[in-house]
Amino acid sequence: MTVVVDSSALTKLATHDRTTMARLHRLRDREMWPPIVPTAVLVESLTGRGPRDARTNRLLRTCDLVGLDEPLARRAAALRTMARRGSAVDAIVVATAEHAGAEVVLTGDARDIGPLSQFATNVRVVRV
C-alpha cells in the first residue's frame, strides 16, 4: 500500500517514544513503509538547525521524497480551490497522494487534509 505523509505526521513519527515506535513497526508490518514525502513538507517540518532537525532527518532517510512539478502544482491548486481551505502544502500532499495512486494520507491533523481529499480520487485520510 502506498502512503503519503504530511508534515504533522512526519513530526509525530520522528519522536522516539514507545507509542511512536510501535506505530512505525505496525506501518512496516502492514507494508505501508516507506512512505512518500512531498519535498514541500520539509518546509513545515524542518527548522534548518541540524541538532533540532536530527530526528526528522533520520526518519526522512527511510522515506521516498517526491518533488513538485508543474502538473502536480496545478492539481494541488485545483484541489485547494475546490475545497476552499487548506494550505498550499496540504494541497500538495493530497495531489501527490492522488498522483502516486496512494491509498492513504497519514496526518496528525485531518481538519484541512480531509476536505482536500474529498475532491481527490481514491485518497483516504488516516490520523496518526
How far is residue 8 from each of residues 72, 81, 88, 91, 97, measured CA to CA in Å?
21, 22, 14, 14, 16
What pLDDT score does 1 carry?
84
The structural domains of the chain, with segments of one domain joined by +, span 3-127
Its pTM stands at 0.95
* pLDDT higher than threshold 90 for residue 4: yes
What pLDDT score does 112 carry?
87
What pLDDT score does 122 carry?
95
% of the chain at pLDDT higher than 70: 100
CA distance 101 to 43: 24
| 34 preceded by a cis bond (ω within 30 of 0) | yes
Sign of the C-alpha dihedral computed for residues 42, 93, 113 and 110 taken in this order: negative
Q: pLDDT confidence of 62, banded at 50, 70, 90?
A: very high
Q: For the stretch 84-113, what's the b/e string if a residue is b when 16 or more beta carbons lie within 10 angstroms of its beta carbon? A: eebbebbbbbbbbbbbbebebbbbbbbebb
What is 3-127's CATH number?
3.40.50.1010
